[in-house]
A and B are shown apart, each in its own frame.
Chain A
Amino acid sequence: MRDLTQVLKSAAACQSKVLPSGLTLLVKPMPDYSGAHAIYATRFGSVDASFTLDKQDGRGPVRVDLPAGVAHFLEHKMFESEEGDAFALYAKTGANANAYTSFDRTSYIFTATGKIDESLDVLLGMVGKPYFTEATIAKEQGIIGQEIKMYDDSADWRLLTGLCQCLYAAHPVRSDIAGTVESIARITPEMLYACADAFYQPANMVLAAAGNITMEQLEAACARAGLNEPRTPFAVTRLRAEEPLAVARQRLEFSMPVAKPCLGIGFKETPLPEGVAGLRGRILCDLLTELIVGGTTPLYRRLYDEGLVNPEFDGDFLALDGCLCILFTGESDEPERVKDMLLDEIDRLRAEGVDEELFRLNKNRMYGELIQDLEQIEDTASALANSFLHGYTVYDELQTLADLTKQDVDQALQTMLSRERCATVLIHPTEVNG
């Protein structure tokens, strides 16, 4: 085996800096590229539903409890200011901008080929400075209500949310990222300002960029935005209700307009720590799903040849603060049989160990995917931001994967993917009038 240390270090290398305000800057200059992609992200997502905030104003910690969907709602509101809409400002630079909210983070992004400094000014100017009136909140409730309804029509999304509701009794992962029409109706300006104060502090955020861009450009933009000055951070404590390891509910069935029954099988696992300590567990989860039902496995082949699932049937995992679950989803005319086959295969692998050759091949595949993620400016900036927010580096990922052995997977199987901590979601097709 060649020593690729230098090649990989070079591929995964980036420049980093922490500003006096606490904001972390990460940049991977890629001068051969025309464009630059920037991500300004905060560790604040839909699962941050309760917290205390001490603004050092003598009042002490104040508890804030949020209805579902606030992080996503706030993301929408960041695009507005007294001067107008951020999209209108980006239109002057030619940048393509967007934002997204997940369970544990909110990210604001742009891609641009020219006027990159001006685009950075728009990005840093809009994020963290929410502006809203009663009227704009009401309008947003209408738009997000439509977004919620669109997701309600997605069987894949309903499987995911259904599994989370089955597996978890108290964790906020039970709630949809966008909330419900009812929950977002309860959002108040005070809640939004409290979230901005708590989670949009520079020390809780990262500005990552890749492409035709330099650290000097990021630093200069931050200086213009006042992010170079030291700031005394507000104290924030995330509050989590006790979550048992047992599943909340073993089964959920409902109907919606789909052509075939849709099946979701979820396993609740012990949550992973943040940082490098949890990275090994993340990679194990990824490998496990591939070794159980990935395209190289005998189970996938049986399911495929017998026409028991759609070709997209696969496994994935969700790792958040206080939550780790492994999920298998797809369509099947015989969901109970597929579930039995999946559970039997997990039992077999637990008893016999995973195939050495399949382990090697899938490890190779993951290595290739990590290299692939460092190719395009969007993927590279995203990899930098994601790894930072999880508390490790891109190179840590390559190194941890390289160190992983078949024995690690076999050992993990002894405690993970237990039948006792398994839940099933089944979506039945409703009658359609064709």
Chain B
Amino acid sequence: MSQVKIRRRVSSRFLASEVRLIAVRRRNQAGLAALAAVPVVIAIAMKVAAPDRTGRGQGGGPDFFSQILSNGFFVALAGIGVELTLFLPIAIAMLAGDAVAGEANQGTLRYLLTVPVGRIRLLAVKYAGIVMGAFLAPLVVATSGILAGLLLFGGGDVTTLSGTSISFGAGLLRLLGVCLYLGVCLTALGAVGLFLSTLTEQPMGATIALTMLTVASFVLGQIPQLDWLHPYLLTQHWQDFGELLRDPVSLSALQPGLLTAGAYIAVFLCAAWARFAGRDITS
């Protein structure tokens, strides 16, 4: 048989296939629907509850509940505040836990590697899928919140945390900024998840481990005696997204969160590569 010349193309086919694989999965669709449902539930609850109700967002974040009645815009922020401590991390944990462990569990990992898909390329494509999910999830919550809020409470100029007033359009831009900031935070969480996913053949194990790590990180962040530890916690600066609702916006206030996220991404992507590059695939 004559030697066949092998040409390797630069192609987005595998990435497109990965996105499709994530998108068509019922579980992921249901998860996204659940994320979108929370702001709707908040909006309805606020509508039917007594007007003097002043709830507080969980996790010590900024309180947007009290403003919902006057402006539907804040449904989105309240939704994000509520979901940030558990729902959003679980969504990323499901996605990231499945990344490598899911393929190993189904026996598809060995076939991808013999195609061949280089191990670094596989990790890169898997992480790209997680990153897309990490940015999409807060956007879905925000969009659902804005729609539900406008419908039930109407819009109007937005009062910032500094007390000034900005237009609804400018408010939407700030909200987009919040989503991007949290997207970066969740991307860092996804890097930890990708690493966990290379350790096991049980995707649920990786998902649960990452969820527990997130919750533990939040809990440790609440203990003042452990303040020496706080700068190293992944979740420590997540609530800083409220800085984007001040006037003027101080971008330097977001720096610690972005730096923490960057450090986590670098460390855990390296760890995932170190673990996966030479691993014996016996699944």
Is B one of A's binding partners?
A: no
CB within 8 Å of B: which residues of A?
A: none
CB within 8 Å of A: which residues of B?
A: none
